[in-house]
Amino acid sequence: MVGYARRNRRGLAVAGSLGVVLALVVLFGPPRLFEYSESPGFCAACHVMKEHYESWTHMGSHRSKRCIDCHLPNRHWAPHLLWKGIDGAKDVLSFFSGLVPDPIVLSARGRRTAQDNCVRCHEGMVSRIDGSRPCSNCHRRATHKGAGLIDTR
């Protein structure tokens, strides 16, 4: 058990270091690398995201959006870059340590970010509805695994 914990810590340290190096390369490396890191193809490069990527490419109106349009803060560049770095490092760490949850579930912060981005893009529409419920209560499949409303009857 001690050997496993030591190996696991070592693996996490290596993955964390790789995440930091990757973040530095993406932020300060070639300009096209930063641009590519914001593309859906970059997100889909991780095999655990393939299913989400495939469902997104075959669904309705959100096909033209990038993963970061929903999954990162987009009202200002500073929180966008901060959370891109934090989430990216966590994703790299999870992937290389083998600790990727199945299924992948959004954190509470991730759900708030997605909700904020729904409202940001659909401001004209959402001003006429009750804002006390998250958009995903009715539009659960609006992005992944099929598009449309969920029958709540």
Token duo for residue 85: 């770095």
pLDDT in tens, 97-127: 888 877 777 889 999 999 999 999 988 888 7
pLDDT in tens, 41-98: 888 887 677 777 877 777 767 778 888 999 999 999 899 988 988 888 888 788 888 8
Q: What is the pTM of this model?
A: 0.69
Residue 36 and residue 22 in contact, taking contact as beta carbons nearer than 8 Å: no
Q: What is the pLDDT of residue 43?
A: 84
CATH code reported for the domain at 2-137:
1.10.3820.10
Confidence category of residue 151, pLDDT binned at 50, 70, 90: very low
Please state the domain extents for the chain. Answer: 2-137
- Give helix 2-28 / helix 77-97 axis angle, nearest 10°: 140
First to last CA, the chain: 51
Residue 143 has pLDDT above 90, yes or no: no
Q: What is the pLDDT of residue 141?
A: 67
Query: Torsions phi, psi of 93, nearest 5?
Result: -60, -45
Residue for token digits 């930091």?
20
Q: What is the pLDDT of residue 149?
A: 43
